[in-house]
Chain A
Amino acid sequence: MPFSDRTGYRLPASRARRELLAGLLATFASVGCGRPARPRRDGNRTVVTFWYAFGDLVRKVLLDLVERYNQSQPDVVVRPVHQGDYFEALAKLRTAIAAGVSPPLAHVVLEVLPYLARAGVLEPLDGYEGAGELGLVPALSQIGSFDPGAPRITVGVPLNRSTPIAYCNARIFQQDGVHIPTTWTELSDAAKTLTQRSSGSVTRWGFEVPISWWYWVALMGQAGGRLVEPDGTMSLGGAAGEAALELWQRLVRTDRVMRPPPGGDYQAWQSTSEGFLQERIAMMWSSTAFLRYLEGSARFPIVAAPLPRASRSSVPTGGTMFVLVRSAPEEEKRAAWSFVRWMCEPAQAIDWCTRTGYMPVTRRAVAALGENGFYVRHPNDRVAIAELEHAQTWPWAPDLFRVERDIVEPLLQQAVLTGRDAHEVMQEARELAREPA
């Protein structure tokens, strides 16, 4: 193979080989060194790479806001990079942090904050300019989302926050004379009435909810349980956790009024939404995040409602928090923080929530929406805000995310789909959860 330098002069083979080798080594070294020590700049502007995990409508709204931010000031340019769904994005973020090539700004699901905070990879935010003046809705802030015993150091700022709500097909409810259920008993009765069968097979399901952790936590809380006891024992709700699972088993296996949606993770959520929009499901539970999408896509009126109660009303909060990666250059972190602050300003917080269905994360945004009559015009949007009164806090448990994904979720599916005894399943889940990671 002929080797030549930039002028086209043919080099001796040995020297050419040495130069080729040096070039390769330099390439590997530059990759291996990971994050550049200096902040990235585009002209005079600091570049903030922002890894996000939204699709469809929410993605469009986010990109619009980023574009608006980039045009609103001359110092910072935010470059959003899509990284798949929440779990894919988290996997990539962890790998990137370990490899030293992470972006300065990302957003992660709430339950993973304790784990990332314990690993020391998140930037403490309390010292940043204006951190104490964001005016966050207490139940949606990091401090308010976790048990009172959690560390008081802020590492996350709410971006998209949600609760599960009930979506009802108002036309079917009216036709069948069914009232929106407010208790578990009413839920079962309503699902029975709303389910339609033809020659033995179901043509319309009365109720559907993904067999997943978030909704089980809601049910467990409604039955009066808590994930972690005050002494730190991972009880997974004890008898309440079993009662939640038994309700699902009854609806799916005994009454046959609920379809367990196929697929895992967000595929099951998507499948539930599709079934609801096609009127093959009369009532479903899903995140408030889908509100605008569902209202815009449905050919029937949708009524949103709070989840029913058992011994009490209870919902978990969900969604993600902005996080700054600690190892990022200082200038990039400051620039990323300016974007986070800007997103918390009322105009952006209102735009974000009214165009998606997520909850407004600041008190000023909530007040402004109330004052301008938004909740009167859009009563479905008020449901999630009202549910915050019964929001359960999450335990500050670094293993929580692992317990959720690796233990509880597969066992819940197994119990619902195969009919395995709920007590036995939850007992196994508790034992596995208490094993060292």
Chain B
Amino acid sequence: MIPRSRAHPWWMLAPTLVLLAAFFIVPIGVAGFESLFAWDLLTAPRYVGAANYRAIVAHGWLLAIALRTLAYSVLVVSGTMASGLALALLVNRPGRLFSLVRASVFSAYVVSWVAVALLWMTLLDDSGGLVTHGLRAVGLGGVSLLGDPRAALPTLAAIGVWKLTGYSMIVLLSGLQSIPPSLHEAAALDGAGAWARFCHVTLPALAPAAAFAATTTLVTSFQAFDVVRIVTQGGPARATQLFVYAIYEQIFLDLRVGRASALTVVFFFLLLSLAWLQLRALSSSGRSS
């Protein structure tokens, strides 16, 4: 379709561009500007230059938050992809039972993070939670999954995996069902066993769907907030203080708009870099296929 005038495409794009500018570009610009000030919302802002950036870098705080968030994301993405693939392979067959299993697993993804967080808080409760009872029964009663700084982050990631597995399962299932049966038949005729067919036919054919599921899960895990806010509030001893929660805590609880803005700017560029890397990986895999 050829536009009747040069302006037409821009008019078509205008609503999206306006929303993008209003809710993404301008706020990031504002955050960048405010990161140069010490401000608590109520008193007059004071220009401090790069002091907020120096402050978040000092004492290794920024690095700790970035590494913690990365560790959480790695756990969530790898856990979600592994369990999603296993479930997709398991339920990729006809029948009501498997439809029910698919729907059941996916239902966790539809439930809100708040409900999921509250549910898991009850299950993990130190005094009477079901998981705690189970751990006691197998002789692991001394472990406080949310109270021990070493266990809290993996526990939080496990909640994320439980919630997001349904999503990756559905995406991978669609990938599995789009693989032509003729590929498997040809490989079988060539003498390939089940494991060889899985490694050399199924996995390569699943790559685009897996890349999509991994990318979107990565972005979701980087934005984790609700589950941290409700289950651990960043504790114990900051062991679960992830990026978005740290920003929230700085601006709303610790009264530091400038420092929160500096964190936001760093977070923006971190996500931008990750998205760029993902896009590069996707485009190179697209070229090779």
Interface residues of B in 223-244 (CB under 8 A from A): 231-238
The answer to whether the Cβ of A115 comes within 8 Å of any Cβ in the partner chain is yes
Cβ contact within 8 Å between B237 and A414? yes
The answer to whether the Cβ of A345 comes within 8 Å of any Cβ in the partner chain is no
The answer to whether the Cβ of B252 comes within 8 Å of any Cβ in the partner chain is yes
In the assembled complex, the CB of B261 is this many whole angstroms from the nearest CB of chain A, namely 15
Cβ contact within 8 Å between A410 and B42? no
Q: Which of B74-82, B139-147, B202-210 contacts A (4 or more CB under 8 A)?
A: B139-147
Kindly report which residue of chain B lies nearest to residue A95, judged by CB atoms.
Answer: B41
Cβ contact within 8 Å between B127 and A410? no
Cβ contact within 8 Å between A413 and B255? no
Contacts of A432 in B (CB 8 A): 59
The answer to whether the Cβ of A78 comes within 8 Å of any Cβ in the partner chain is no
In the assembled complex, the CB of B146 is this many whole angstroms from the nearest CB of chain A, namely 4
Contacts of B249 in A (CB 8 A): 406
Cβ contact within 8 Å between A94 and B237? no
Cβ contact within 8 Å between B236 and A260? yes
Cβ contact within 8 Å between A414 and B126? no
The answer to whether the Cβ of B256 comes within 8 Å of any Cβ in the partner chain is yes
The answer to whether the Cβ of A34 comes within 8 Å of any Cβ in the partner chain is no
Binary interface profile of B, 235-265, with partner A (CB < 8 Å = 1, else 0)? 1111000000000010011111000000000
Instruction: Please indicate which of the listed interface residues B136, B144, B233, B255 has the most CB atoms of chain A within 10 Å of its own CB.
Output: B255
In the assembled complex, the CB of B8 is this many whole angstroms from the nearest CB of chain A, namely 18
Q: Which of A11-19, A130-138, A213-221, A262-270 contacts B (4 or more CB under 8 A)?
A: A262-270
Determine the distance from Cα of A119 to Cα of B40 in the docked complex, in whole angstroms.
9
> Is the contact region of chain B dominated by helix, strand, or loop, or is it mixed?
loop
Binary interface profile of A, 261-286, with partner B (CB < 8 Å = 1, else 0)? 11111010001001100101000000
The answer to whether the Cβ of A91 comes within 8 Å of any Cβ in the partner chain is yes
Total contacting residues, chain A, CB less than 8 A = 43
Contacts of A87 in B (CB 8 A): 253
Q: A98-B42, A405-B254 are in contact. Are A417 and B126 (CB under 8 A)?
A: no
Cβ contact within 8 Å between B146 and A263? yes
* A265-B233, A410-B238, A417-B148 given; 9 more Cβ-contact pairs under 8 Å: A87-B253, A121-B42, A261-B147, A262-B146, A264-B235, A410-B235, A417-B149, A417-B237, A428-B59
Binary interface profile of B, 11-47, with partner A (CB < 8 Å = 1, else 0)? 0000000000000000000000000001011110000
Cβ contact within 8 Å between A267 and B40? no
In the assembled complex, the CB of A282 is this many whole angstroms from the nearest CB of chain B, namely 14
Contacts of B38 in A (CB 8 A): 436-437
In the A-B complex, list the 10 residue pairs whose CB atoms are closest, starting with the nearest.
A262-B147, A264-B233, A119-B42, A91-B252, A414-B237, A413-B237, A264-B235, A98-B41, A406-B254, A262-B146
In the assembled complex, the CB of A281 is this many whole angstroms from the nearest CB of chain B, namely 9
In the assembled complex, the CB of B18 is this many whole angstroms from the nearest CB of chain A, namely 12
Instruction: Please indicate which of the listed interface residues B127, B141, B232, B252 has the most CB atoms of chain A within 10 Å of its own CB.
Output: B127
Cβ contact within 8 Å between A264 and B236? yes
Contacts of B236 in A (CB 8 A): 211, 260, 262, 264, 413, 417
Contacts of A201 in B (CB 8 A): 136, 141-142
Total contacting residues, chain B, CB less than 8 A = 33
Cβ contact within 8 Å between B42 and A94? yes
Determine the distance from Cα of A405 to Cα of B253 in the docked complex, in whole angstroms.
8
Contacts of A173 in B (CB 8 A): none
Determine the distance from Cα of A274 to Cα of B128 in the docked complex, in whole angstroms.
9
Contacts of A150 in B (CB 8 A): none
Contacts of A275 in B (CB 8 A): 126-127
Instruction: Please indicate which of the listed interface residues B59, B237, B249 has the most CB atoms of chain A within 10 Å of its own CB.
Output: B237
Interface residues of A (CB under 8 A from B): 87, 91, 94-95, 97-98, 115-116, 118-121, 200-202, 211, 259-265, 267, 271, 274-275, 278, 280, 401-402, 405-406, 410, 413-414, 417-418, 428, 432, 435-437
Kindly report which residue of chain A lies nearest to residue B233, judged by CB atoms.
Answer: A264
Cβ contact within 8 Å between A264 and B126? no
Binary interface profile of B, 121-155, with partner A (CB < 8 Å = 1, else 0)? 00001111000000010000110101111000000
In the assembled complex, the CB of A336 is this many whole angstroms from the nearest CB of chain B, namely 20
A418's partner among B40, B59, B237 (CB-CB below 8 A) is B237
Cβ contact within 8 Å between B127 and A91? no
Determine the distance from Cα of A435 to Cα of B256 in the docked complex, in whole angstroms.
13
Determine the distance from Cα of A87 to Cα of B233 in the docked complex, in whole angstroms.
12
Cβ contact within 8 Å between A413 and B43? no
Q: A95-B252, A413-B237 are in contact. Are A260 and B147 (CB under 8 A)?
A: yes
In the assembled complex, the CB of A35 is this many whole angstroms from the nearest CB of chain B, namely 15
Kindly report which residue of chain A lies nearest to residue B254, judged by CB atoms.
Answer: A406
Kindly report which residue of chain B lies nearest to residue A399, judged by CB atoms.
Answer: B255
Q: A95-B41, A262-B147 are in contact. Are A280 and B237 (CB under 8 A)?
A: no
Contacts of A414 in B (CB 8 A): 149, 237-238
Contacts of B55 in A (CB 8 A): 435
Instruction: Please indicate which of the listed interface residues A118, A265, A413 has the most CB atoms of chain B within 10 Å of its own CB.
Output: A413
In the assembled complex, the CB of A411 is this many whole angstroms from the nearest CB of chain B, namely 8
Determine the distance from Cα of A278 to Cα of B126 in the docked complex, in whole angstroms.
12
Cβ contact within 8 Å between B127 and A280? yes
Contacts of A121 in B (CB 8 A): 42
Instruction: Please indicate which of the listed interface residues A87, A401, A406 has the most CB atoms of chain B within 10 Å of its own CB.
Output: A406
Determine the distance from Cα of A280 to Cα of B144 in the docked complex, in whole angstroms.
15
